[in-house]
Amino acid sequence: MRFTIAKRIGAAVASATVIAGAVSLLILREVIRIHDSLVSSRFTGVEQELRNISGASRTWIAERKRLLALIGYRAFEDLESQARKGASFPRAVRNLSGRYPELTEASLFSSGSSILTDALPAVDIPVQTMATGLLSGRKCRAVNRFIPQWGRVRLTLCTDVLPITIHNAATAALDRARAMDRIQEELRPYYYFIVTLGSVGGAIFAIFAAWLLVRRMVREIRELSEASWRVARGDVSVRVNARGDDELGELERDFNHMVEELESYRRRISYLERMGAWQEVARRLAHEIKNPLTPIVLMMDQIREKAPREPESFRRLVDMASEVVRSEVETLRRLVETFGQLARLPEPRMEPMDLRELLASLQDTYRASGHDIITLGVPGQPVVVDGDRDLLRRALSNMLDNAIEAEATEIEVSLDVVYGRAVLRVRDNGSGIPEGAIEHVFEPYFTTKQTGTGLGLALVRKVALDHDGDVRVVPHNGPGTVMEMWIPVKA
């Protein structure tokens, strides 16, 4: 997965936010835990008091209900007793009110259910509602009974719902509940402070992470800038350390590749300039050497013809000198011919061509000349390049001649396509090239052979460079030499 700069910054900010949020949550959880423990301790006490109040209230109410039922029964017993003694209903009720303070209303109903007498005035039952919804005041109960002397009588009995002790306990519990509410309100700003602190910490952390990233980017950009200045001043050996897979890392790798290409182009240009100078030297040498060769040969022939036959020793000396001169002249002529080939090397005329056909033609040529030691390894598909057929043929011939002159008994020629380049590889089992001479074999007039001119492989590299390619000696284990020449494949 490729991490771009934008992704790195986003990941840093996201990480900072997550870390800050996590820290805030941890702090907030700890504060809530402390708050809950504090509130829980207070709430437990309040809850226990409310349970006690509830239990006491239920017990009290149940007892008061039983008491009212008993008082009602006794009050009717007294009323019936007074009725049998001939007392009037109002008088009997007044006697009861002194004995039973719970009696708040007594009513006598006729047969049609209409009220005949209210011995006591109707009492309104006050109901006071507290803040918590608990009721304080009185609870009443109406009891009806038929008394033969008077008719149907209804007595209303009332009693306090909660005693003062239970009411005070409930009030204290409510006060504690209100205290807990106040504590929660007092802690609320601390919650906001913790969230704000976490947010600010996250922002600071994000800024710090972004600063680290920007610092790294600035450092790498500064290194690139310094390397660019060194390249501009001519130092093509400089390289930068490519780090990461983001845009900066890709830029650093591209910079290194660009410098490598620039160094390669500089070497090529330098080599081509030297080759151009050597071509001019070869042209002049060929012209200057070729002109006197023919007169030298003619003069030696005349000397040989006109030399006296006697004495015999002088005649043998003249014949030997003539042969030596002719041999050296032939050597000079071959050298002049080689110079001429280098001097007359034409500019390449590019045209599409299949390298497989060129290799097959070369194999047939060498077989016809008695060198049946060349084997080919070519792909099944055409390998088309833009090239000059004659120049490429001459370059490949020089590579093969070099292998033959090294007394090779087997020569393998292969053709491959690697990364958009056609790679021609010539492998032989000859005497090989000395290790110290490998880096100089493509220099003009450098040779390791007694009869060599040092121009064959120089011409090979000149042709390769003219085709936007190059040639090299491949290091390998074993006898012989491996040479590779590559040129771009036609797009």
- How do residues 358-413 score in pLDDT, each as one tens digit? 999 999 999 888 888 888 899 989 999 999 999 999 899 989 988 888 888 899 99
Question: What pLDDT does residue 5 have?
Answer: 58
The per-residue pLDDT for range 10-59, each reduced to its tens digit, is 666 666 667 666 766 676 676 667 666 665 665 566 566 666 766 776 77
How are the residues of the chain apportioned to helix, strand and coil, as percentages rounded to the nearest 5?
60, 15, 25
The answer, yes or no, to whether residue 195 has pLDDT greater than 60, is yes
Question: How close are the terminal C-alpha atoms of the chain, in Å?
Answer: 31
CB 427 within 8 A of CB 482: yes
Question: What pLDDT does residue 343 have?
Answer: 61
Cβ burial of 278 (10 Å; 0-12, 13-18, 19+) is: buried
Closest to 339 in 3D by CA, of 278, 408, 256, 292: 278
Tokens of 264: 């390669």
Give the range with max mean pLDDT: 132-136, 193-197, 319-323, 383-387.
383-387
The β-bridge relationship of strands 411-418 and 374-377 is parallel
Tokens of 366: 């060498």
Q: Checking phi first, is residue 244 left (phi over 0); if not, alpha (psi -120 to 50) or beta?
A: left
Query: Using omega within 30 degrees of 0 as the cis cutoff, is the peptide bond preceding 311 cis?
Result: yes
Q: Which residue has the higher pLDDT, 159 or 13?
A: 159
Which architecture does CATH list for 348-488? 2-Layer Sandwich (3.30)
416-419, long-range: CB < 8 A, 24+ apart: 416/379, 417/379, 417/383, 417/489, 418/486
Domain regions of the chain by residue span: 5-96+164-183, 247-342, 348-488
Tokens of 203: 């922002």
Closest to 378 in 3D by CA, of 412, 420, 429, 421: 412
The answer, yes or no, to whether residue 119 has pLDDT greater than 60, is no
Q: Which residue has the higher pLDDT, 158 or 400?
A: 400
411 phi/psi in degrees, rounded to 5: -130, 120
Closest to 138 in 3D by CA, of 74, 61, 69, 66: 61
Tokens of 178: 């209100």
Q: CA separation (Å) from 59 to 161, 163, 426?
A: 11, 12, 115
137 phi/psi in degrees, rounded to 5: 150, -135
The answer, yes or no, to whether residue 171 has pLDDT greater than 50, is yes
Tokens of 225: 């800038």
The amino acid at residue 215 is R
Cβ burial of 383 (10 Å; 0-12, 13-18, 19+) is: buried
Question: What pLDDT does residue 41 have?
Answer: 60
The amino acid at residue 354 is D
Q: pTM for the full model?
A: 0.49
DSSP string, 452-475: --S-HHHHHHHHHHHTT-EEEEPP
CB 66 within 8 A of CB 157: no
Which of 112-126, 216-230, 268-282, 384-398 has the least mean pLDDT?
112-126
- Number of helices and strands in the chain (H, E): 8, 12
**Cα angle: 400, vertex 401, 402; to 5 degrees:** 90
The per-residue pLDDT for range 420-468, each reduced to its tens digit, is 899 999 999 988 888 778 888 888 777 777 666 677 888 888 899 889 8
Q: What is the mean pLDDT of residues 185-200?
A: 71
**Alpha-carbon span 426 to 416, nearest angstrom:** 12
**Alpha-carbon span 73 to 153, nearest angstrom:** 12
Handedness of CA 241, 243, 246, 248 (dihedral sign): negative
The rounded percent of the chain whose pLDDT value lies above 90 is: 11
352 band by pLDDT with thresholds 50, 70 and 90: very high
The per-residue pLDDT for range 249-306, each reduced to its tens digit, is 788 888 888 888 887 778 777 777 777 777 677 666 666 666 677 777 777 777 777 7
Question: What pLDDT does residue 121 have?
Answer: 43
